[in-house]
Amino acid sequence: MSPNPQPAVEVSGLVKRYGSKTAVDGLDLVQQPGTVLALLGPNGAGKTTTVEICEGFRAADDGTVRVLGLAPGSEELRPRIGVMPQGGGGYPGIRAEEMLNLVAACAANPLDPKWLIEVLGLGGAVRTPYKRLSGGQQQRLSLACALIGRPELVFLDEPTAGMDPQARRLVWDLVGALKDDGVSVLLTTHLMDEAEALADQVVIIDEGRVVAQGSPSELTAHRADDQQLRFRARPGLDTSLLSAALPEGLKVREATRGAYVVEGLIDPQVVSTVTSWCAQQGVLAEELTVAKRSLEDVFLDLTGRELRS
Amino acid sequence: MTTFAPGTFKPAPGRGSLPKMLFVHARTEAMLTLRNGEQILLTVIIPLALLIALSLMSVIPMPEPRVGSATARIFALAIISSAFTGQAIALGFDRRYGVLKRLAASALPRWLLVAGRVCGALVVVALQIVLLAVTALILGWRFPLSGLPWMVLLIILGTLTFGALGVLLGGALRAEIVLALANIIWFVLLMVGGVALSVPVGFVHLLPSAALAQALETSVVHGTAPGVGPVAVLVAWGVVAGALATRTTRLT
């Protein structure tokens, strides 16, 4: 690899407005080639808008976007990328293999459509017209269409939406195989475990802005005292008593009914204090675990815990 | 866990050959039309039934030779059915199911997205015309061969003009609205647009339906070149519809 490789995707100062609503508000990101980047954010954060601008489906109002060093949507660029639009796409009456053959005909060195159909578990639905495929099957066909041309860079917009756990697992394995073969993958998701499992780099966006970015481990463990001890016990224990028994700087709360969380620097002494306090209360601390903050905690801290309309 | 041999997805991008893309796209479009029962009813069964009815029954007044006049009009109807109504409905639902976006994301050049649909439509029209022509010959149509080149040119021009109108309708509105409008317009053109009946009202001659039926009648019945007027009307509608459609057609 050259010492200064061209980024797979480079976005700077991207702005997109729909009427009075600003969907993307000065977004910057750089994806190194051969890596997996996850755009993580709540619904309406601007993920799909950003990806569709990179794919060439929408025009930016401001800022610059380069994909493999080229302008999005250009005839030169399109053969080099694979796109899985949100919700898929196909002729209502077409069969999976016919659709894949059509997209394969657009590529110089396509993968074998029959093989890909089997890999994606669509072998049992070869005669089913597109409109009668389940949402998950349509998604898998769309993924096949994105991969068939052996692209350098793949955009996957919510690739596992509507999929059952087996299919989701398969997509994760595919993304891993793509990365191993040097393909860059930019995906959007609102699933923390997906971003944590797949991405080299996670970019958390909210209200059209980047609120945090880094590798999953950087995002979850940037402070040594940022740990949690979780346990279950009888609901309604007086947490202020436990708080008083613990060293200063540790916070105790009942996160949901009967599920207690101690946050801060968790050392063996803290664990011992918690269990003996529970013993004094005459309760057994069950399912006691010590963990660093999950990506979900980071995400919820950054984007808020309230439901969005 | 599913494992893949290393190198399975090693990038090897590139655009496929243009003739192959055009061939596969056009074949897909034609095949999907021919497989669709409602499209077959509209483009084949109804024109065929009307051809037989108009030729054998004298309920509707028609110039002699009756079979020839009926054939010309039904050719025009077949083109309107498939290039306009069929194309508009197909496009409306193709957009609904996201296929245009899917194909626009592939390496298929944009012009080929249009060219493939046009070629697919021409293949379907050619099959309709062959079937109708054979039926008409059995019914006693005497085709002056001198009209063949004109007939072919008019069929292509009619397909392009009504295809542009079909894209204009199917490319901008919701699928259900397209479905309703495309069928209503088809019926109106058939009854009072100069297709089934010669309507002696001035502005009807300015409709593309009347122009196509009239021009085809000249070549199919008399074997001579169509008048400049009907051809100009067809070209004008096609150019205006095409220009508008490039601005209004949306991928989804």
Helix (H) or strand (E) segment spanning residue B87: helix B87-96
Residue A84: beta bridge partners? A156
Q: Per-residue pLDDT tens for B15-48? A: 999 999 999 999 999 999 999 999 999 999 999 9
Question: What is the average pLDDT value for chain A, to the nearest integer?
Answer: 89
Q: Give the model's pLDDT for residue A87.
A: 78
> Does the structure show a pLDDT above 50 at A78?
yes
Average pLDDT (A176-200) is 92
For residues A47 and B80, give the distance between their C-alpha atoms in angstroms, rounded to a whole number: 43
Q: How far is B173 from chain A (nearest CA, A)?
A: 17
Strands A259-264 and A251-256: antiparallel
Looking at chain B, the whole-number percentage of residues with pLDDT higher than 90 is 79
Tokens of A90: 């196909």
Q: Are B78 and B154 in contact (CB under 8 A)?
A: no
For tokens 């003996």, the residue is A276
Determine how β-strand A227-232 pairs with β-strand A286-292.
Answer: antiparallel
Distance from CA of B144 to the nearest CA of A (A): 40
Instruction: Over range A135-162, report the average pLDDT.
Output: 94
- Residue B73's nearest CA partner among B201, B199, B242, B237 is B199
DSSP codes joined into one string, B58-75: -SS--PSSHHHHHHHHHH
Which tens digit of pLDDT belongs to each residue from A118-127? 999 999 988 8
Each residue of B128-176: pLDDT tens digit? 999 999 999 999 999 899 999 999 999 999 999 999 999 999 999 999 9
At residue A9's C-alpha, the angle toward residues A205 and A78, to 5°, is 120
Which of A102, A141, A153, A157 best probes binding to B when mutated, by most B CB atoms within 10 angstroms?
A102
pLDDT at residue A4 greater than cutoff 90:
no
Q: Do A92 and B35 touch (CB under 8 A)?
A: no
Q: CATH code for A227-292?
A: 3.30.70
Q: Report yes or no: A253 at the B interface, CB cutoff 8 Å.
A: no
Task: Inspect the interface and report whether the beta carbons of B2 and A174 lie closer than 8 Å.
Answer: yes
To the nearest whole Å, the CA of A4 is away from the closest chain B CA by 20
Subunit contact B4:A150, Cβ cutoff 8 A = no
* Cross-chain residue pair A57–B99, CB shorter than 8 Å: no
Contact at CB, B105 and A78, closer than 8 angstroms: yes
Q: Which of A270-274, B128-132, B197-201 has the highest mean pLDDT?
A: B128-132
Residue A306 predicted with pLDDT over 80: no
* A99 pLDDT higher than 90: yes
Residue-wise pLDDT for B217-227, tens only, equals 999 999 999 99
Query: Does an H or E element contain B52, and which?
Result: helix B46-56
User: Closest approach of chain B CAs to the CA of A211, in angstroms?
Assistant: 29
What is d(CA B161, CA B84) in angstroms, rounded to the nearest whole number?
A: 9
pLDDT of residue B182: 96
Half-sphere exposure of residue B118, counting CA atoms within 13 Å on the CB side?
Answer: 17
State yes or no: pLDDT of A222 exceeds 50: yes
Using the Cβ of A163 and the Cβ atoms of chain B, whether some distance falls under 8 Å is answered with no
Taking CA atoms, what residue in A is nearest to B94?
Answer: A91
Strands A251-256 and A209-214: unpaired
DSSP SS3 for B106: coil
Domain boundaries, chain A: 9-220, 227-292
- Cβ distance B21 to A105 less than 8 Å, yes or no, reads yes
- What is residue A223's predicted lDDT score, i.e. its pLDDT? 60
* B199, pLDDT greater than 80: no
Query: Which of B102, B113, B179 would best serve as a mutation to test chain A binding (most A beta carbons within 10 A)?
Result: B102
The predicted pLDDT at position A1 comes to 47
Alpha helices in A15-164 (DSSP H): 47-55, 96-105, 113-119, 135-147
Render the burial of A92-112: b for 16+ CB within 10 Å, e for the rest. Answer: bbbbbbbbbbbbbbbbeebbe
Indicate the domain borders of chain B. 18-248
Task: Work out the minimum CA distance from A85 to partner chain B, whole angstroms.
Answer: 7
Q: Which of A190-199, A291-300, B28-37 has the highest mean pLDDT?
A: B28-37
- Across the interface, whether the CB atoms of B2 and A173 are under 8 A apart is answered yes
- The residue among B1, B3, B9, B34 with the most chain A CBs within 10 A of its CB, best to mutate, is B9
Q: Do B13 and A79 touch (CB under 8 A)?
A: yes
DSSP reduced 3-state for A278: helix
pLDDT for residue A301: 75
Closest A-chain CA to B14: A108
Nearest Cα residue in chain B from A146: B106
User: What confidence tier does A22 reach under pLDDT thresholds 50, 70, 90?
Assistant: very high
Q: Where are the alpha helices (DSSP H) in A207-294?
A: 216-220, 239-245, 268-281
Q: Is A136 on the interface with B (CB under 8 A)?
A: no
Pairing of strands A259-264, A227-232: antiparallel
Phi, psi (degrees; rounded to nearest 5) at A94: -85, 150
Residue ranges of alpha helices (H) inside chain A are 47-55, 96-105, 113-119, 135-147, 165-180, 192-198, 216-220, 239-245, 268-281, 295-303
Closest CA to A206 of A300, A66, A69: A300
For residue A244, how far is the Cα from the chain centroid? 39
User: Residue B242: CB partners within 8 Å, gap ≥ 6?
Assistant: B164, B167
Domain at A9-220, CATH from 1.10.3210.50, 3.40.50.300, 3.30.70.360, 3.40.1190.20: 3.40.50.300
Q: How far is A83 from chain B (nearest CA, A)?
A: 6
What would the mean pLDDT of A63-90 be, rounded to a whole number?
92
Q: Residue B243's closest CA among B136, B141, B161, B142?
A: B161
Bridge partners of residue A229, in order along the sequence: A262, A290
Among residues B83, B68, B64, B204, which one has the least CA distance to residue B155?
B83
User: Span A69-77, mean pLDDT?
Assistant: 92
Query: Is A169 an interface residue toward B (CB < 8 Å)?
Result: yes
ipTM of the complex: 0.89
Kindly calculate the radius of gyration of chain B based on its CA atoms and give it in whole angstroms. Answer: 20
For CA atoms A81, A157, B104, B82, the dihedral sign is positive
Question: Which chain A residues are Cβ-neighbours of B103 within 8 angstroms?
Answer: 89, 102-103
Of A78, A88, A182, the CB nearest to B98: A88
Radius of gyration of chain A (CA): 23
Residue B113's pLDDT band (cuts 50, 70, 90):
confident
Contact B102 A85 (CB under 8 A): yes
**A2 pLDDT above the threshold of 60:** no
> Which residue, among A229, A52, A280, A293, has the nearest Cα to B105 in the 3D structure?
A52
Least confident of A25-29, A161-165, B151-155: A161-165
Higher pLDDT, A297 or A258: A258
Distance from CA of B122 to the nearest CA of A (A): 19
- pLDDT band for A140, please (50, 70, 90 cuts): very high
- Spatial contact of A140 and A122, defined as CB atoms under 8 Å apart: yes
